[in-house]
Each structure stands twice: as C-alpha cells, then as structure tokens.
Amino acid sequence: MQIGFIGLGIMGRPMALNLKAAGHTLIVPDRPSLTDEVRAAATVVGDAAAVAEAAEAVILMVPDTPDVERVLFGSHGVAEGLQPGRLVIDMSSISPIATKSFAARINALGCDYIDAPVSGGEVGAKAATLTIMVGGPEAAFARAKPLFEAMGKNITLVGTENGAGQTCKVANQIIVALTIEAVSEALTFARKAGADPARVRQALMGGFASSRILEVHGERMINHTFNPGFRVRLHQKDLGLALMAAREMGMALPNTAIAQQMFSVVVAHGGADQDHSAMVRAIERMAGMAE
C-alpha cells in the first residue's frame, strides 16, 4: 500500500521503517528533523495535505490530542488532501472523547477512521512487537490489519466504536504507572534496608511479583539510566486523560492520582523528558536517598 506516515519520533520512526521493510511505500511530510535513513526509505512531500493526497492510508503517531487535531484539520492538514475511500489511522495516545469527534469529521469526508494506540515502547516499536489496541468499524480494521501486523504482534479490535482503542490505552497506562510506582517502592525499600536491590530484583523475577516492568524498568531504576523510551511528560498526559475521564464518569482513581503526583515530583526536579521509570527518583527523595 501507499502509506502516509506523520510523526517520526522515538516510536514513529521505527514503526514507519518496519512498514517499509514489509514492502509498503512510505510517504512523509518534509521536516528538518527527518533522518537520512527516513529520507532514503520514503517519498518526501511538502506537508500533511500532500501526504494525504498521495496515500491510500495515513498513519498518525504524534504526542497529544491538540497535535492530532492540528495535523488532521489545521492549515494544509490531512483533511485537505483526503479523497473519499481513504483510511486514517491514529496510533497516538489521545483523548477518547476527542477521538470520537475527529472520527466523525473524517467520516463526513467519506473516509474511514481507526484509533489504534500502542504499547511496548521504543523496544517494541523497533522489534515490531507492539501491542495495538484498535477502535473502529470491522471493515476498516480488516483493511488496516496487514499494516498493524508489520508493526506489532498483539493486535486486538477492542470495539467497533471509535474511541474504544484509546480507552483501552488509558487503562493500559494506569496499570503501567501503578506498576512502576510499586517497583519503585519495592526497590527503594530494599536499598534503604541495606539489601542489594539488583539481587532483590533477580529474586523477585522468579516469583509472583515478576513483570516486564520489574525486568526492564527495574534494571533502569537500579542503574539510574533514564534515557527515554517513554517520557515522563507523555505518561503524565495519559494519566491526565484517565483522571479527566474518571471525573466525568463520577468515579475515583485514587492510586492513579498518586502516581500522577509522583511524576510531578520528577518533573519539578527537571525530569520531564526522562524515561517514566524515573518515578523511582520521587520515591528515593521521600526516603531521603536522592543522589
């Protein structure tokens, strides 16, 4: 397929290159940040509207809800270049409520819209093993599935209504944040008590407390290596979506709110662009162990 791809950052770049490796043609908008690798792999055009004019399907992978709205409906945006019958796939993590509105506006142009946020981080993006959570009509999902299979392994149509994929992603981010918080507390507790946190982590990996977060982020916490796979400020954005939706539904997410505050501590100390495993620094500060 002729695939337009907008949003070639930490996650988007390897996702796009995996589509190219699977035999699809890439079309991307010109940006000063485009790497030589992407320029060699893709057809580079002037703007998002030109991408949409040339592509059968347009994929978005941008940071936040306003970014998606701007790329779709701003000046020289995707909507200006769409022809009826095209497919728009938003793989960003944004508001489920806004997603429904965006889908309706794209549908009014005679095009299909799918929300398909991902989980798996930079590692999963590079390895094409992302979990992809999809909301949208079954026929549109069937059109998009070969593209998803080039980027991920666990691909689920969560619901046939737009917004279902984004709702699932928000739920995912709640679990991830709370697990990071739990691992942060456990390893800081072990260190404060005089145990070797690396050996504690090794022991826990063989028991019921084992998790991918203990495995991957636990090692980052021990080594204090916080180069971003997924930035604190982006996880804060996702938890903000969770807390906003919970307020609208009249329900409480008490531990999500606590995790959000832990991220706020990290941000207050200059860590907004660190990996979200840097939450451990907030726990360490409360334990009097900040370095």
Q: Which of 202, 178, 179, 207 is nearest to 190 (CA)?
A: 202
Helical ranges in 27-112 per DSSP H: 36-41, 48-54, 65-73, 78-81, 96-107
Angle, helices 232-249 vs 254-268, to 10°: value is 150
Residue 281: count other Cβ atoms within 10 Å of its Cβ: 24
153 as an active site residue: the answer is no
Residue 14 CA to residue 8 CA, distance in Å, equals 8
Among 20, 126, 145, 169, the active-site one is 169
Helix, strand and coil percent figures for the chain, each rounded to 5: 55, 15, 30
CA-angle at 226, arms to 175 and 208, nearest 5°: 40
H/E element, 26: strand 25-29
Q: Which amino acids are annotated catalytic?
A: 169
